[in-house]
């Protein structure tokens, strides 16, 4: 029952603010208006789900410039909370399966998101290359969940290398992001609507200039270890 309630709220508010942003961006031609709607979306859901968000490590980030935010993934509320925490024009890399939802695909395409085919490496590389070219035209920050899916036990899963390769190719600094409390929130009992605290902590940006494509495994491991350390602190 609780999961159904969560899904219904996510669907309703996502499409309400998503469709609103679609209209505004279509009229204005400015994709960065998504930042405004993303913030309202995130704050609305955190209020409905009775979540207290604590953000740490913001002093590691410049108020200007863009980053690739590489975060662990534990629940459905991670994306809206990350949009609040980053407080900038941030889009996400989404799995291709979500593009089969017609209205959803139109909305996130307009906002500047990217779909990646995780089952086809050639198509995934082509999508990332296209995105690399596009981001030079319209700068934005990028949110990535390198585990590829939500954790089932609260522990970090194996990290995929896509975020590292994207950082190396675009020369955009990559920031390890630890989300704690999200898994516990997702596993709350049926009628438990008590207040939950979720912490999002930003690590220090990693300069991709120090890495080449052949170093992608090293960079991926560095990101994972940084997130793991923050989660254990």
What are 138-147's pLDDT values in tens digits?
888 999 999 9
Distance spanning both ends of the chain, measured CA to CA = 34
Determine the pLDDT at residue 119: 67
Determine the pLDDT at residue 73: 96
Domains of the chain: 2-232 (3.40.1130)
Is residue 114 within 8 Å of 131, Cβ to Cβ? yes
Determine the pLDDT at residue 1: 64
Of 200, 203, 201, which is closest to residue 175 (Cα–Cα)?
203
**Where does the chain show beta strands of DSSP type E?**
51-56, 68-71, 90-95, 114-116, 141-144, 174-180, 196-202
pTM recorded for the entire structure: 0.90
Q: How confident is the model at residue 118 (pLDDT cuts 50, 70, 90)?
A: low
Is residue 13 within 8 Å of 41, Cβ to Cβ? yes
Q: To 5 degrees, how large is the angle CA 170–CA 171–CA 174?
A: 100
Determine the pLDDT at residue 135: 78
Tell me whether strands 51-56 and 114-116 are parallel, antiparallel or unpaired.
Answer: unpaired
Q: Could you tell me the two tokens for 86? A: 């980053």
């Amino acid at each position: 029952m609780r999961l159904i309630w969560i899904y219904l709220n996510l669907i309703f508010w996502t499409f309400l603010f998503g469709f609103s942003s679609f209209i505004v961006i279509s009229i204005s031609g400015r994709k960065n208006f998504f930042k405004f709607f993303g913030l309202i979306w995130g704050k609305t859901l955190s209020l409905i789900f009775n979540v207290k968000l604590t953000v740490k490590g913001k002093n590691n980030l410049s108020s200007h410039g863009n980053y690739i935010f590489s975060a662990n993934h534990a629940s459905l509320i991670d994306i809206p909370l990350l949009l609040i925490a980053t407080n900038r024009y941030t889009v996400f890399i989404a799995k291709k399966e979500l593009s089969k939802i017609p209205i959803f695909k139109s909305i996130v395409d307009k906002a500047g998101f990217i779909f990646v085919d995780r089952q086809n490496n050639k198509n995934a590389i082509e999508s990332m290359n296209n995105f690399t070219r596009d981001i030079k035209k319209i700068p934005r920050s990028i949110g990535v969940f390198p585990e590829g899916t939500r954790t089932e036990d609260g522990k970090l899963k194996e990290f995929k290398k896509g975020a590292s390769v994207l950082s190396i190719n675009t020369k955009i600094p990559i920031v390890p992001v630890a989300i704690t409390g999200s898994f516990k929130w997702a596993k709350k009992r049926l009628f438990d609507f008590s207040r939950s605290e979720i912490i999002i902590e930003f690590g220090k940006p990693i300069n991709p200039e120090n890495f080449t494509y052949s170093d992608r495994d090293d960079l991926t491991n560095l990101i994972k270890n940084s997130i793991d350390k923050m989660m254990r602190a």
